Amino acid sequence: MRPGILVHTMAGAPAGPTPGLALDGGGSDGRAPTTAVGGGVEAGSGGGRHPAPLLDSTAMRVLLMRTCLSDAIAPKVWKATRRALERAGVEVRVPRGQTCCGQPAWNSGHPGQARAVARHTIKVFAGTEEVVVPSGSCSAMVVHSYPDLFRGEPDEADARDLAARTVEFTQFLARHDLDPRAKPCGAVTVHDSCHMLRALGDGTSARAALDRVPGLEVREMANTDQCCGFGGTFALNYPELSARLGDQKAHDAVNSGAPEVVACDLGCLMHIAGRAHRTGTALRARHIAEVLGS
Amino acid sequence: MSSRRRRAPGGVTYDDVTGTLRERTLTALRDPGLAANLRSAGTAWAEQREVMDRDYGFNEMRDRARDIRRANIRALPALLTQLQHRVRENGGTVVRAADAAEACRYIVGLARARGVGMVAKSKSMATEEIKLNDALEDAGLEVVETDLGEWILQLAHEHPTHIIAPAIHLNKEEVAALFRAESNGDVPDDREGLVAHARMRLREKFAQAEMGISGVNLAVAATGTVCIVENEGNIRLVTSQPRIHVAVMGMERVVADWDEAAHILQVLPMAAIGYDAANYVNLISGPRREGEADGPEEFHLVIVDGGRGALRGSEFEEALSCIRCGACLYSCPMWRNVGGQTYGSPYSGPIGAVITPLLEGPSSPGSRDLPFMSSVCGACGDACPVGIPLQDLLVKARARSRSPATTKAGWAFRLWSLLWRRGLTYRLTIVGWRLGLRIRGRGGWVHRLPGPGRAWTSVRDLPSRWPPRR
Ligand code: SF4
């Protein structure tokens, strides 16, 4: 029995200023603002693996944080995240006006500037729903660093509330035992991003989600826990050292025998892929949401 | 011996360090053997650490070690007073030095007053920090490093690359060459032969030294005992052969009692070298007493503040619980690629990048860049046996750093923050950016970005389509 699916995007969200470059959730990828698919009607035949079918009235609702990197480099990533969540029976709202979690400034030692942007994020994501983020790094920022960033500030309670509601995409799938029923896929290798693995302490959720993809084989690379060398502004401050680490990562990924590296963080991937392209290393890269939302 | 450790005025960093941190990084990256030596050391350490966890539940032991050290730091003033009393009761002398200059002045004065000509030293981060060798050599004393690795570095006129394994960046061929130059004679090529050669040369020095100077791993307040852990046996000689033994410690290295000391002394070698015990644990409670067969006539304990006291109660207080095991260095992908010498400070790796600027001050040119040479990957915090959240402290140390670069970045982030705290202005910047990406990256890749993006494309391309094209 497949759960009924309710797809709901922000009603009345405007089309973006430039077609194809639009940002906000609803309507921007050319879909009707609100689409109800199979409300109360059985759809598909995924059956068997879903212990708790969801009904419309009880459909899980989440807020999606697109992340600035996805907006800037790969809007496909947040759209794939939404698609995967919706296929797993989750109602996704993409709040308008969202920007960035503030990590670039926080990480670079400018907490005041980070706080101003984070404060905006807290307002945008007000509510009671879980906030799903297709990035280990951004969710670590909210979960782990917001309480620090807002310690002693008037909005500390709101910051802590958002931290408690925020969850990385594959962790969300694992937490609720959801299957986005991805299309079959071949072999991939997984890069554990540092913030996913250490700040969030999660080395299993990504693999658990990939395990459910038909035909997909995870070929583990050596030194999978070692940093790829992205590190945000570190990549700009110490490019050569960052590149050395990227080379080591690309090398380990290629040696896994898988043609493609997937990760929960776009930042790592654009660094690894960018470095691999510069050095002529044959390695494809895709965000895990693109695999799961395919 | 010409002096290899030159002092920046009042600083912890070496002043013979040249170039910017980034330039030194480049030099290190160009050294073909360095990363290989460091990585194999790091890998060996990591494998042993897993053994420790499997056989001894090391990861659980860390929780208690953390709690002990946090409590020690909270109770620091009382513990130091107690330590001081006990050492004096045991017949030793205690000196509290506010800074490096005070500590060096005392030790040099003591050596002069006792007519000392040669000093045998064992490995000690605190003496490295206060640049004691410079002070002693400037006063005309001969100083011999007796730790094998430190002696090698003394011969090479180099700074240590790791706080436990100072010469780990050199291989045995390089060491043999140094020994040959020192002895003008035949030196064997194999590992055992090299060690035997060093032992013979160093024993000759021990016989002549009138003063032995050591560091301190832990001091036990309850009994006034100094604990020094080692693998080579040279510390045993340094602390017992010469007439005078001077032990130098950072003020944070104190534990309350033997129960605590026993736990930390177990955790230390596990974290540092991945073995359940060090070869020697020296416990020293003052000078030789009547009826004892050996030991020095005089024992002096020099306790250095050097900027530590000011960290208590600050957001960096946790850094004081460090037991200088070096685990964070081995775990660090930066350190594994550029080595400790690149940092320009006796304290390298993640803990060095945090505490060097704390001890020197936020605008010290020698160390203010250090917290930025990290991807904040958190491997260090995971490795630390006393649970210091090094990755968080690195980020906080960045916020404290003062340099032209941080000022510039501050302005950039101010502008960024103005634009990205509103949906509309954010959207405009993103739309503009994506337009630029389309124009510049027609083939699927951008090969050159302008402005601050230039650093990105100096070593990598930027995908303008996603997923990136091959
Ligand atoms: S910070 Fe932790 S891991 Fe690093 S040297 Fe100190 S105790 Fe060891």
Q: Tokens 């990562």 correspond to what residue?
A: A249
Cβ distance of A232 and B376 shorter than 8 Å: yes
* CB of residue B242 inside a 6 A radius of ligand 1: no
Which of B72, B311, B328 is the pocket-test mutation for ligand 1 (most atoms within 8 Å of CB)?
Answer: B328
Burial profile B416-448: b = 16 or more Cβ within 10 angstroms, e = fewer: bbebbbebeebbebbbeebeebeebbeeebbee
Task: Measure in Å the smallest separation between the Cα of B428 and chain A Cα atoms.
Answer: 9
Which has the closest alpha carbon to B380: B395, B369, B365, B367? B395
Residue A186 near residue A149 (C-beta atoms within 8 A)? no
Atom of ligand 1 nearest to the CA of B271: 8
Question: Residue whose CA is closest, atom 4 of ligand 1?
Answer: B328
Q: Which of B7-21, B53-67, B335-349, B393-407 has the lowest mean pLDDT?
A: B7-21
Residue B441 has pLDDT above 50, yes or no: yes
Tell me how long chain B is. Answer: 470
In angstroms, the CA A191 to CA A186 distance is 16
List the 113-172 stretch of A: residues with Cβ below 8 A of B: 113-114, 116-117, 119-120, 124, 148
* CB of residue B327 inside a 6 A radius of ligand 1: yes
Residue A276 near residue A250 (C-beta atoms within 8 A)? yes
Q: Residues A101-147: pLDDT tens digits?
A: 999 999 999 999 999 999 999 999 999 999 999 999 999 999 999 99
H or E stretch at A236: helix A234-237
Residue A37 has pLDDT above 60, yes or no: no
Q: What's the average model confidence in pLDDT over B181-187?
A: 85
Which of B322, B347, B355, B380 is the pocket-test mutation for ligand 1 (most atoms within 8 Å of CB)?
Answer: B322
Kindly report, as residue ranges, where domains of CATH 3.40.50.10420 are found in chain B.
7-304
Compute the distance from residue A47 Cα to the ligand 1 centre, in Å: 51
For the record, the structure tokens of B416 come out as 């960024």
Q: What's the average model confidence in pLDDT over B384-391?
A: 97
* CB of residue B197 inside a 6 A radius of ligand 1: no
H or E stretch at B302: strand B298-304
Residue B131 CA neighbour count, 13 Å, CB half: 22
Which has the closest alpha carbon to B370: B388, B393, B336? B393
| Residue B3's pLDDT band (cuts 50, 70, 90) | very low
CB atoms within 10 A of CB B451: 7
Q: What's the average model confidence in pLDDT over B121-139?
A: 95
SS3 B27: helix
Compute the distance from residue B453 Cα to the ligand 1 centre, in Å: 35
In angstroms, the CA B336 to CA B19 distance is 20
Residue B356 near residue B326 (C-beta atoms within 8 A)? no
Q: Tokens 């050290």 correspond to what residue?
A: B69
Q: What's the average model confidence in pLDDT over B367-394?
A: 97
The complex's ipTM works out to: 0.92
| Residue A5's pLDDT band (cuts 50, 70, 90) | very low
H or E stretch at B282: strand B280-284
Q: Tokens 């040479």 correspond to what residue?
A: B373
Q: For position B277, what pLDDT does the model report?
A: 86
Q: Which of A37-51, B217-231, B397-411 has the lowest mean pLDDT?
A: A37-51
Q: Is B64 exposed, middle or buried (0-12, 13-18, 19+ CB in 10 A)?
A: middle
Residue B159 near residue B183 (C-beta atoms within 8 A)? no
Whether B470 has its CB under 8 Å from any CB of chain A: the answer is: yes
Domain A187-292, architecture per CATH? 3-Layer(aba) Sandwich (3.40)
Q: Residues B291-321: pLDDT tens digits?
A: 888 899 999 999 999 999 999 999 999 999 9
Residue A42 has pLDDT above 60, yes or no: no
Residue A202 near residue A133 (C-beta atoms within 8 A)? no
pTM of the entire structure?
0.90
List the 426-465 stretch of B: residues with Cβ below 8 A of A: 426-427, 430-431, 433-435, 437, 445, 452, 455-456, 458-463
Whether A239 has its CB under 8 Å from any CB of chain B: the answer is: yes
A99, A233, A271: residue with CB nearest B426: A99
Tell me how long chain A is. Answer: 294
Helices (H), A36-100: 68-73, 75-87
For chain B, how are helix, strand and coil distributed in percent, rounded to 5? 55, 10, 35
Question: Residue whose CA is closest, atom 6 of ligand 1?
Answer: B322
Q: Which of A233-247, B39-53, B311-325, B393-407 has the lowest mean pLDDT?
A: B39-53
Residue B21 near residue B365 (C-beta atoms within 8 A)? no
Cβ distance of B421 and A120 shorter than 8 Å: yes
Question: What residues form DSSP beta bridges with B213?
Answer: B121, B246
Whether A286 has its CB under 8 Å from any CB of chain B: the answer is: yes
Q: For position B10, what pLDDT does the model report?
A: 61
Q: Residues A206-226: pLDDT tens digits?
A: 999 999 999 999 999 999 999
Residue B423 has pLDDT above 70, yes or no: yes
| Residue A165's pLDDT band (cuts 50, 70, 90) | very high
For the record, the structure tokens of A280 come out as 């002529």
| Residue B59's pLDDT band (cuts 50, 70, 90) | confident
SS3 B22: helix
Question: Residue whose CA is closest, atom 8 of ligand 1?
Answer: B325
Task: Measure in Å the smallest separation between the Cα of A38 and chain B Cα atoms.
Answer: 31
Q: Which residues of B touch A23 (CB under 8 A)?
A: 427, 430-431
Q: Residues A231-240: pLDDT tens digits?
A: 999 999 999 9
Cβ distance of B375 and A234 shorter than 8 Å: yes
Atom of ligand 1 nearest to the CA of B323: 7
In angstroms, the CA B319 to CA A190 distance is 34
Across all residues in chain A, what is the average pLDDT? 86
Q: Which of A91-95, B5-9, B413-417 has the lowest mean pLDDT?
A: B5-9
Domain B7-304 class in CATH: alpha beta
Q: For position A58, what pLDDT does the model report?
A: 66
H or E stretch at B244: strand B244-250
B35, B381, B456: residue with CB nearest A235: B456
Q: In what order do the strands lie in the sheet with B298-304?
A: B93-97, B298-304, B244-250, B211-214, B118-121, B142-145
In angstroms, the CA B287 to CA A228 distance is 52
Kindly report, as residue ranges, where domains of CATH 3.40.50 are found in chain A.
187-292
Residue B4 has pLDDT above 90, yes or no: no
